[in-house]
Amino acid sequence: MKCPHCSTTIEARQPACHKCGFSLAAMQPFFGDQWVRLERLTDAAHCLRLADRHKAEMTLDDLERAFPQVFVAFYFGSLPPVLNPQEVAFWLINNGAFSTPQISKRNEYGVVCVVDPAAGTVGTAIGYALESLLAETAPTMILQAMVPALSHAEYGGAIEAAATSVSDLLRPLAIARPITQSLSPGPHAGSSAADYGLHPLRSGHRQTDSTPSPSRQRR
C-alpha cells in the first residue's frame, strides 16, 4: 500500500510510515479514535441530487449482489484544510462501521472514496485483504474513472464510474480466486465526529474489549 500522506510504499499493517511518520494517530485531533456509523453514501456536502442518490443506490446494490463480500462507500464533505481525501479515506476504512442492505461486511473487503467538492479533490482507500488481491494500480484506476464526472460536478456519475471500475477489477478475481472467507459484523462503538457528518455509533468512550474484532483494520 501507499502512505496516504506521502505516497511512500509501506507494509499493510505497518503502524506508521517510515518516511513521514503518518499514522492513524495523526487523524485523532480531527476525528478521534472511535468508530463512526456511515451509510454507503454519506453526503455531508449536500451535493447529490435525489435522483442521483437513488440511481447510485441501485448501482451499489448491483455490485454487492455480484460480489457479496465487497462493499463500496462514498463520503462527500468539506475536509479540514490540512487533510487530504486520501488520508480521510484511510481513516474511514479503519474507523467506519458501514451499513449495507445486503449483509454485514468486513472493512478489509471495502473500498472507500472521499470527495471534497469545494476543494475539487478526491481520494480512495481499499481494505488490506482486498488490496492484497488487486493490482497495485487499482486505487489510481478507480480515481481516474471518477475524474471526468467530477470535473463537471456530476457526482452521481462519479459514483457510477467508481462502482464500474471496482466491478471491472473484481470480475476476473471472482472466477480465478473467489473470496470464500466467512464474514462477520464489525464492532459498534462511536465518537464525536458529527461535525463532518459522521455519526457516532454510541456516546461515550470506546469500551475495552479483550476479544479482537475480525472487521477492524489497522495499518
Assigned domain for 187 exists? no
Tally Cβ neighbours within 10 Å of residue 210: 4
Flag whether pLDDT at 186 surpasses 70.
no
Assigned domain for 209 exists? no
Assigned domain for 46 exists? yes
Q: Which domain holds residue 44?
A: 32-177
Lowest mean pLDDT among 6-20, 104-118, 128-142: 6-20
Assigned domain for 2 exists? no
* Residue 162 pLDDT class (50, 70, 90 cuts): very high
Count of domains observed in the chain: 1
* Residue 11 pLDDT class (50, 70, 90 cuts): confident
Which has more confidence, 39 or 194? Answer: 39
How far apart CA 201 and CA 190 sit, in angstroms, is: 4
Mean pLDDT of 84-92: 94
Assigned domain for 163 exists? yes
CATH number (domain holding residue 108): 3.10.310.50
Assigned domain for 204 exists? no
How far apart CA 154 and CA 195 sit, in angstroms, is: 25
Nearest to 155 by CA among 71, 80, 46: 46
Assigned domain for 18 exists? no
Mean pLDDT of 82-97: 92
Query: Quick check: helix, strand or coil at residue 185?
Result: coil
**pLDDT tens digits, one per residue of 66-78:** 998 899 999 999 9
Mean pLDDT of 18-29: 85
Which has more confidence, 181 or 151? Answer: 151
Assigned domain for 217 exists? no
Which has more confidence, 119 or 186? Answer: 119
Task: Answer yes or no: are the C-beta atoms of 150 and 115 closer than 8 Å.
Answer: yes
Flag whether pLDDT at 53 surpasses 90.
yes
